[in-house]
Amino acid sequence: MSPRSSRRWALAGLLTPATLLLAGCFLVPLGIMATYSVLSPGLYGGVEWEFYPYNYGRVLGAPLGDAEEFDPVYAGILLRSLRLAAVTVVVCLCLCYPAAFWVSRLPGARKNLVLFLVTLPFFANLIIRVYAWMLVLRPTGVLTRAFDAVGLGAHAPDLMFTEGAVVIGLAYVLLPFMFLPLYASIEKLDPALLQASSDLGASPLQGFLRVTLPLTAPGILGGSVLVFIPAFGNFVVPALMGGAKVMLVGNTIEQQFLAARNWPFGAALAMLVLGIILIAMLAYAWRFGRVDGAVRP
Amino acid sequence: MNGAPASRWLGAWGVGFLALLYVPIALIFVYSFNSNVVNMMAWEGFTLDWYRSILGLPTQLAKSDNYVQSTATLLAAVRNSLVVATFATLVSTAIGTATALAIARHRFRLRRLYQGLLVLPMVMPDIVLGIALLIFFVSLGLDLGLHTIIAGHCVFLSSYVFVVVSTRLAGMATDLEEASSDLGASPWVTFRRVTLPQIAPGIAGGALLAFIISMDDLVITYFIAGVDSATLPLFIYGILRRGIKPEINALAMLLLAFSFLVAATGLWLRSRRQ
């Protein structure tokens, strides 16, 4: 065998397992889901094989030219999910930006220790990190007891099962996704540039707005995408901390599959989530060239 | 930035940030030793009974439906989680490593497409992948169980292993491999004797990460688990949906200790290499 053709065989051998896995357990399932989303729901679960665009019409209504099945509840759920995901991104950003700055200025050994400490909770089970905040926010929880202890018991906020609780839970779980890309871009920032801007007469605020912010923008955007995506589709946090009061699109999809048994409608909702995420990612990739640049800008 | 006050503020913020990360976890730790059986949030005294109870050891606790049903269900969930994580890690480590080698060491037409496709399962919301797999398995007429969970986990774990091993390969010079093949070694011998020893830490890191993520996954597993194939996160989620029970604190601490141990080993190994 010539070396060239043996290299070809090696390549084929290396790629075959991934090809089978991605095609069989990823692309085909996504294709079936896309197909389901335009089929009619069966009377007792399952699907009828006929073209049925109203699954999307139920959420989007008029844009499809048919408002017959339109129910504003679903558009509202979609908008609320987008809003809470955006708020989560802002909360994570505000918490992480100064913290990442702080870590980047620590001396060597301590910097490594703190980076280790920041990364470690990321490996803890997600359900346990959510549970930790349930302990804090539940009506008889740590927060209420803390207010009681300082004599402000009457003013203790009842946060459990509110949008606030969902944002707190999401932000806590997703913090590392914001911190690491931010840290990566802040770490690369040359302090001499800030020094130069202040030598040339810029105020600290001007220095921040004109030098620091633009140079760390890739980290900000990368972190925002990485937090936004899982926050938007999440259903564990809203199910445990939002209860029935804060329905997000993730819970609605889950309900359609496991309770309402309207799979085509659930599939259509999932396709809408996927579409919104893809638009966000394409916008990001178009701006910064690479999709995987999010982690290492 | 003007000197001391600004950096003092920054330091205070940083310490607050670390506190925010760890205080909630520390609370679980404290409450896991609380002996109050009536109101778990009010501190009464120190006890190890919650730990003894989930391990199936005799305790002083009165029987009550306040507690986790049975140690047998819990142990079954732990076993399911370990089985899934072990098999899914083995398969996805092999697939992810092979793909990383193909992408890093070969030039071919669909290279960019493969790179993009491999990133997708990681960035896609879990719920979308979960229901796509559910519809797929059900349309195939498969019964849901451990095998469907393992297959589902392999899809996204392969991507994580791929990324970790690729990073390792990218930071590695190719001259040793070229020297080995110039000296007449076959591709297999070059791989076995030159490439593999160099990327082994990357493979180990990828496998460790895959194992932790598999043990942690709730959303995808939620949709593709069968009736009697609940994993540990599913088991805990089920309990939390029905209300908080004091034993959860002890269970959570054991689980945390386990994942911190695995993660700390991985991070320590990585820092030693550099």
Q: What is the ipTM of this complex?
A: 0.87
Q: Which of A22, A269, A284 to mutate to test the interface with B (most CBs of B within 10 A)?
A: A22
| Paired tokens of A228 | 């936004």
Which parts of chain B register pLDDT below 50?
1-2
For residue A42, give the 3-state DSSP assignment.
coil
Question: What is the model's pLDDT at position A68?
Answer: 60
Contact B134, A270 (CB under 8 A): no
CB within 8 Å of A260: residues ≥ 6 apart = A266
CB within 8 Å of A135: residues ≥ 6 apart = A141, A142, B24, B27, B28, B31, B41, B244
**Residue A165: φ, ψ to 5°:** -65, -40
Read off the pLDDT band of A272 (50, 70, 90).
very high
DSSP secondary structure code for residue A110 in this structure:
H
| Paired tokens of A111 | 């910097």
Q: Which chain B positions have a beta carbon within 8 Å of A138's beta carbon? A: 41, 244
Q: Give one word for B238, left, alpha or beta, with left for phi > 0 and alpha for psi -120 to 50.
A: alpha
Question: What is the model's pLDDT at position B3?
Answer: 52
Handedness of CA B109, B113, B116, B117 (dihedral sign): negative
Would you state the torsion angle of the CA atoms of residues B7, B10, B15, B20, taken in this order, to the nearest 10 degrees?
180
CA B222: distance to chain centroid? 15
Q: What is the pLDDT of residues A198-231, one digit of tens each?
A: 888 888 888 888 888 888 888 999 899 989 999 9
Read off the pLDDT band of A66 (50, 70, 90).
low
Question: What is the model's pLDDT at position B65?
Answer: 52
Q: Which amino acid is at A239?
A: A
Record the pTM: 0.89
Q: Which of residues 96-155 of A touch B (CB under 8 A)?
A: 96, 98-99, 101-103, 105, 112, 114, 116-136, 138, 140-142, 145
Question: What is the model's pLDDT at position B62?
Answer: 60
Minimal Cβ distance to A131: which of B116, B155, B248: B248
Contact A172, A96 (CB under 8 A): no
Question: What is the model's pLDDT at position A297?
Answer: 32
Judge whether residue A293 has pLDDT over 90: no
Which of the two residues, A284 and B140, has the higher pLDDT score? Answer: B140
Rounded to whole angstroms, how far apart are CA atoms A139 and A157? 9
CATH 1.10.3720.10 domain extents, chain B:
71-244
Rounded to whole angstroms, how far apart are CA atoms B123 and A291? 10
| Paired tokens of A3 | 């070396």
Q: Which of B8, B15, B17 to mutate to test the interface with A (most CBs of A within 10 A)?
A: B17
* Average pLDDT score over chain A: 86
Q: Which fold has domain B71-244?
A: MetI-like fold (1.10.3720)
Q: What is the pLDDT of residues A179-192, one digit of tens each?
A: 999 999 998 888 88
Q: Which fold has domain A36-294?
A: MetI-like fold (1.10.3720)
Q: Which of B219, B160, B143 is nearest to A125 (CA)?
A: B219
Minimal Cβ distance to A277: which of B13, B124, B259: B124
Where do the structural domains in chain A lie, given as residue ranges?
A: 36-294
Q: What is the pLDDT of residues A38-54, one digit of tens each?
A: 998 887 767 888 888 78
Q: Which of A222, A247, A236 is nearest to A84 (CA)?
A: A247
Minimal Cβ distance to A26: which of B14, B102, B121: B121
Q: How many CA atoms lie within 13 Å of A49's alpha carbon, on the beta-carbon side?
A: 1
Read off the pLDDT band of A93 (50, 70, 90).
very high
Question: What is the model's pLDDT at position B69?
Answer: 59
Q: Which amino acid is at A10?
A: A
Contact B236, B126 (CB under 8 A): no
Q: Which chain A positions have a beta carbon within 8 Å of B120's beta carbon? A: 26
Read off the pLDDT band of A296 (50, 70, 90).
very low
Residue matched to tokens 């949030």: B41
Judge whether residue A292 has pLDDT over 50: no
* Cβ distance of B155 and A126 shorter than 8 Å: no
